[in-house]
Structure 1
């Protein structure tokens, strides 16, 4: 659980130290914003691989595998905006089964974001393309 917050905590501490050293509140605010972007806070509540398997593919929801601190995941989440709520988000650091599912489609690597859309895996898809796909559903 702690490793999910490691990057955000490190950025926040660095910003606080730099802010104190320079006497700048702006630096602290900027680093706090960066820490929030790198944290799990901007992502929807994660579901587990077991929940997705129980529900089955018949509901047609996209599944997005991600992990905290991943800049590509942050970029995807920011680009999707409200359309991101049309997908299930699975944190591979919280769910070993999900990490195994990603390795199965990403040549043994835990490459995120990995998206399963209509049963087809897409490793690190173009965020704008995915947004169009989600909005069309």
Structure 2
């Protein structure tokens, strides 16, 4: 999981910060093109699915300044974006096709039993997905695990 450090005016304009912005821009272009390819492939070139793109700083602030931050697992952290609770998913596995996951989840967001994709951040090496927060997510996933364990 990326560890965020606080931004100050000194670090904002330093060469390390410039390198970070360059890396974020390169990741954004690479990941953005992959997500677009997946969307076009899944929609046969006729894609009208809106996806909100968050910056790395917005994701950092959503997690850092959230009043009710909860670590649900290694990948899922709750945060607060635009005055609403969200579930932020960091992908640790590089073999996971996150680009396809974004495209498919965006198409399925209108369904009742699927976590609604609020948006994503493409500025990290592996894209970060932002879902609408569901109150019983943590309870249902642990109950499901316990049920599988007893079988």
TM > 0.5: no
Which of the pair is proportionally richer in helix? 1
Given the two structures, how large is their TM-score scaled by the length of structure 2? 0.29
